[in-house]
A and B are shown apart, each in its own frame.
Chain A
């Protein structure tokens, strides 16, 4: 409840089209994710989830078990295709070959931004995982590009960053691109 209140307070202070970097620990990241998604889907947002950490099937199951309305969510799954042939019958999910396919991911994001109508947010889980699979300088430009498109379309965003060893300059550059940094969890 404290976490939920803290996130709600921080979001309320920001202008529409806000982009927040949520810094947390690996142990706390799921709780933080679920809390943030409950807040956003509980209001009038539709969400686009970019997952670099878990496959769609697993995420959808966890979200449902925790009372999150997955009917308000769309997914870009960067994991499943690398390990199996995913079922492409679900129009709420787009599969990208792998986390390093940033061009494909960028196209998928652009398409979803057009498809999802109304007030929306983009949730990236997590930039730390994505950075492991990409060249840092390329990844910064990718994040800059995605955030600029979000800002042009007044789309809000949450970026999850795990508190692990990470290139200081890359982290600082990504942090600067966000409107607010919120640290949550047991550091």
Chain B
């Protein structure tokens, strides 16, 4: 485990991979986002799984203060679903790593204080793009932490998919791997 502190900033920088059972994937993800926002941090939620309105609704269901979040919605674009514009969200029309990274950067600039990026999820991205592009995306987003545009990045990964080559590789690029227990019986 490696923890780094920025030379220019007093904020710590931390790259986290949370490994969650697929049956509890969103619930654990929401718990992590709630913990981060309850602690006064604000963030950008990158959603491949769900469209913007649904992520907001379900995060609220789990008690997350969504006022502290901006969203990058990739799900709506890649599935060809009609987009509804919202000031809290940037819709990315395809799973292009540069477009996604640019959207994250644009939204990070709107936030103040300690910031985080939450990524949900890289494995689904890999169904739309070659693995090399998914690795490029994770690298670009991690560089946002290294370049001090944000303090924390959290990749949520299903435990059943943690053996995939690019996820194993990612686990070496993060500071902490947190394994969550099964909730669903």
Contact = CB atoms under 8 A, between A and B. Distances in A.
B85 to A, nearest CB: 13
A151 B50 contact: yes
Contacts of B180: none
28 contacts: A15-B57, A15-B58, A17-B54, A141-B79, A141-B127, A141-B128, A144-B49, A144-B78, A145-B80, A149-B79, A151-B53, A151-B54, A152-B82, A169-B123, A171-B22, A171-B160, A172-B22, A173-B123, A175-B22, A175-B158, A176-B22, A176-B121, A176-B124, A179-B26, A179-B58, A181-B23, A181-B184, A183-B185
A85 interface: no
B102 to A, nearest CB: 22
B25 interface: yes
B17 to A, nearest CB: 15
Interface residues of A, number: 23
A101 interface: no
Contacts of B84: 152
A-B pairs with the 9 shortest C-beta distances? A172-B160, A151-B54, A145-B79, A175-B22, A181-B23, A172-B22, A176-B25, A148-B79, A15-B61
B51 interface: yes
Interface of B is mostly: helix
B75 A144 contact: yes
Nearest to B120: A176
Nearest to B160: A172
B9 interface: no
Interface of A: 15, 17, 137, 140-141, 144-145, 148-149, 151-152, 168-169, 171-173, 175-177, 179-181, 183
Contacts, number: 75
Contacts of A140: 124, 127
Contacts of A148: 50-51, 75-76, 79, 81
Contacts of A168: 160
Nearest to A145: B79
Residue from A137, A145, A172, A176 whose CB has the most chain B CB atoms within 10 Å:
A176
Interface of B: 22-23, 25-26, 49-51, 53-54, 57-58, 61, 75-76, 78-82, 84, 121, 123-124, 127-128, 158, 160-161, 164, 184-185
Contacts of B78: 144
B58 A152 contact: no
Given A144-B124, A148-B75, A169-B123, 20 more contacts: A15-B58, A140-B127, A141-B79, A141-B127, A144-B49, A144-B127, A145-B80, A148-B81, A151-B51, A152-B51, A152-B76, A152-B81, A152-B84, A169-B160, A171-B160, A172-B22, A173-B127, A175-B23, A175-B25, A181-B184
A181 B26 CA distance: 11
B161 A169 contact: yes
B51 A172 contact: no
A171 to B, nearest CB: 7
B54 A137 contact: no
A32 to B, nearest CB: 16
